[in-house]
Amino acid sequence: MSTLNVRVAAIEQVTPLVKHFTLMREDGQHFPTFSGGSHVVVAMDINGRTHRNAYSLMGSPDDTEAYHISVRRQEHSRGGSVFMHDNVVEGSQLQITMPVNLFSLSKMGRKHILIAGGIGITPFMSQLHDIQRNGYNYELHYAFRSLEHGAFSDQLKARCGNHAHIYVDRLGQKLDLRELLGSQPLGTHVYVCGPSSMVTAVLETARELGWPENHIHSEQFTAPPMGDAFTVQLAKSKTEITVPNDITLLEALETAGVNPDSLCRGGACGRCELDVLELDGEIFHHDHYLSDAEKASNRKIMPCVSRARCTHMLLDI
Amino acid sequence: MERGYRIRSKPNYETLMWREKASAQVVVAKGAGGLAVLQLFQQMYPTQPVTVFYVRGNGSDTDHSATLARVVGDAIKLFDSETDALYAFYRSLPDFRMGTRFYVSGTESFMWSLCKLAKLFDIQESEIMMELSNSLARPVYCVHCKGTTPDVTTNIATCSKCSRKLFVRDHFSRHLGAYMGLMVDAENPGEVPEIEEIYP
Ligand code: FES
């Protein structure tokens, strides 16, 4: 995995829970350009262990001087976001991967409906640059809890004018998905990023209305759930590793020097899939990639999000 | 034809079945393809709004318009020519919403002409259910003049645009919606093998 060394050039507190980080390259070079919807994976050294979290790039894809990410503090998760909030200061050094895009706009689309919940607005910030530059027809629907949590809502209203529709939960403003998705012209694509309840609601409503799969796009950066520690055996590298309660199987493999492929680190892209050769317990599948049948077979695991309770699990790596 | 050799690019067609998750149903058929539509309506008369575009059969192509009009009722639009039907279909696309499901039955030429129009509205061929009606006639794309000759039933066809004699290959282009046709007498002009009907 090729990585870039970056320095935090600026930090801005956007809402009580969200911080915006401006990253510059350590070597003074320019960053590669990227397409709207891309993310990078930030590596953090927390108590000697490497945590890796994916964050969407929010800036303009043409701006190669700096990359911008925003991080919501997730109090009850495994520390990555808390570390970014409490330990990273202006001048801190971090490592990031090259941008990867698993959430790009469909170029054939005749209209684009963007639906964001809370911090799920971040991938759209860069997509909006692409949309506006290409003059695409679009609507932005942005829902959040209460006014103080509407990160970027003023900025978006200014940028998008009447393309932007804002819904503040506390004020009782609700997005009517059936109404929205039931009245779109042919050739419309819908994109959703936000909490899993929102993503599920959008996917289900669109499918129920008869939208074809290739017009429905979603991205979810759910923090991988924590759980109890467990031990796995590796068939090819002939070792055994223990996965502590607060890091993922993928991170534990990486720490042990075994590097399975990975891209989204959120159980969506399928890149990190591993074959389970033997198992004496159960797997807790947290991904959105494997089919129900594959999950039930316990023959595959997505190590970026899934965990297990077992004394013996032999992985084909 | 070589045994055990399968042409991957050749499309497979299915039997039309209503997709239950839909906001509207749009069915387009030509001639003998009307039978597939009658079968659809035998499954049920859908609860969603439905529109049927039908090109009356003529000559050797069976006409089901009378039966269809009875079964489908007001939702049917009848046409005498393929061009008129496709044009009407295309003109109506802006009126349909996302969630509309598409079904088509007829010859390959007809079905792929429709796919090309639908693509202009970002409806991919994978979203259109296709059932081949009782003819294997092929649309043939002339790689020399880039014209497409519809409904070819023979191994060698005369290009409708440049009149070259074309050998009809099995290689199908989804992008063009046609089989490739290559000039058969390029090396020895006038030497054309026997022409036989193989796609009745
Ligand atoms: S890295 Fe994408 S599913 Fe695991």
Whether the pLDDT of residue B48 is over 60: the answer is: yes
| Size of chain B, expressed as the number of residues it contains | 200
Beta carbons of B121 and A109 less than 8 Å apart? no
Closest-CA residue of B relative to A208 is B21
Give how far B30 is from chain A: nearest CA, Å.
Answer: 24
Q: What CATH number corresponds to the domain at position A141?
A: 3.40.50.80
Whether residue A179 sits in one domain with residue A117: yes
Residues 6+ apart with CB under 8 A from A62: A33, A129
Tell me whether residue A23 is in a domain: yes
Identify which of A101, A269, A291, A301 to mutate to test ligand 1's pocket (most ligand atoms within 8 A of the CB): A269
Q: Which of A101, A132, A155 is the last residue of a domain?
A: A101
Q: What CATH number corresponds to the domain at position A246?
A: 3.10.20.30
Tell me whether residue A225 is in a domain: no
Tell me whether residue A49 is in a domain: yes
Whether residue A117 sits in one domain with residue A210: yes
Whole-number Å distance between alpha carbons of A224 and A220? 11
The candidate with the shortest Cα–Cα distance to A270, out of A302, A295, A294, A248, is A302
Tell me whether residue A262 is in a domain: yes
Q: What ipTM does this complex have?
A: 0.84
Asked if A89 and A114 touch (Cβ cutoff 8 Å), the reply is: no
Whether residue A303 sits in one domain with residue A264: yes
What is the Å distance from ligand 1's center to B168 Cα? 45
* Tokens 């990253």 sit on residue: A23
Whether residue A142 sits in one domain with residue A124: yes
Whether residue A143 sits in one domain with residue A90: no
Whether residue A115 sits in one domain with residue A215: yes
Query: What pLDDT does residue B147 have?
Result: 93
Tell me whether residue A106 is in a domain: no
Q: Which of A171, A186, A219 is the last residue of a domain?
A: A219
Q: What CATH number corresponds to the domain at position A42?
A: 2.40.30.10
The candidate with the shortest Cα–Cα distance to A199, out of A100, A123, A297, is A123
| pTM for the model | 0.87
Whether residue A208 sits in one domain with residue A141: yes
Interface test mutation site (partner A, options B122, B127, B175, max chain A beta carbons within 10 A):
B122
8-state DSSP, A255: H
Chain B residues whose beta carbon lies within 8 Å of the beta carbon of residue A110: 121-122
Whether residue A115 sits in one domain with residue A97: no
pLDDT tens by residue, chain A, 317 residues: 578 999 999 999 999 999 999 999 999 999 999 999 999 999 988 888 888 899 999 999 989 999 999 999 987 766 789 999 999 999 999 999 999 999 999 999 999 999 999 999 999 999 999 999 999 999 999 999 998 888 789 999 999 999 999 999 999 999 999 999 999 999 999 999 998 899 999 999 999 999 999 999 999 866 778 888 999 999 998 999 999 988 899 999 998 988 899 988 888 889 999 999 999 999 999 998 999 999 999 999 999 999 999 888 999 99
Whether residue A302 sits in one domain with residue A273: yes
Whether residue A69 sits in one domain with residue A7: yes
Query: What pLDDT does residue A78 have?
Result: 67
H/E stretch holding A198 reads helix A196-209
| Nearest-10 crossing angle of helices A122-134, A153-160 | 10
Domains, chain B, ordered by start? 24-132 (3.40.50.80), 138-183 (no CATH)
Query: What pLDDT does residue A45 have?
Result: 86
Closest-CA residue of B relative to A190 is B98
Beta carbons of B98 and A208 less than 8 Å apart? no
Tell me whether residue A305 is in a domain: yes
Beta carbons of B127 and A110 less than 8 Å apart? no
Structure tokens at A97: 């991967």
Of the two residues B60 and B113, the one the predictor is more confident about is B113
Query: What pLDDT does residue B27 have?
Result: 98
**A66: containing domain:** 3-101
Identify which of A1, A218, A264, A300 to mutate to test ligand 1's pocket (most ligand atoms within 8 A of the CB): A264
Closest-CA residue of B relative to A206 is B99
Whether the pLDDT of residue B1 is over 60: the answer is: no
DSSP string, A107-121: TT-SEEEEEEEGGGG
Which residue has its alpha carbon closest to ligand 1 atom 3?
Answer: A267
Q: Which of A190, A219, A248 is the last residue of a domain?
A: A219
* Tokens 């639906």 sit on residue: A115
* Tokens 């992985």 sit on residue: A315
Domain count for chain A: 3
Q: Which residues line ligand 1 (CB under 6 A)?
A: A 262-265, 267-272, 287, 289, 302, 304
Tell me whether residue A257 is in a domain: yes
* Tokens 């693509």 sit on residue: B119
Whether residue A86 sits in one domain with residue A149: no
Whether residue A35 sits in one domain with residue A64: yes
Tell me whether residue A61 is in a domain: yes
Whether the pLDDT of residue B183 is over 80: the answer is: yes
Residue A79 burial (10 A CB sphere; 0-12, 13-18, 19+): buried
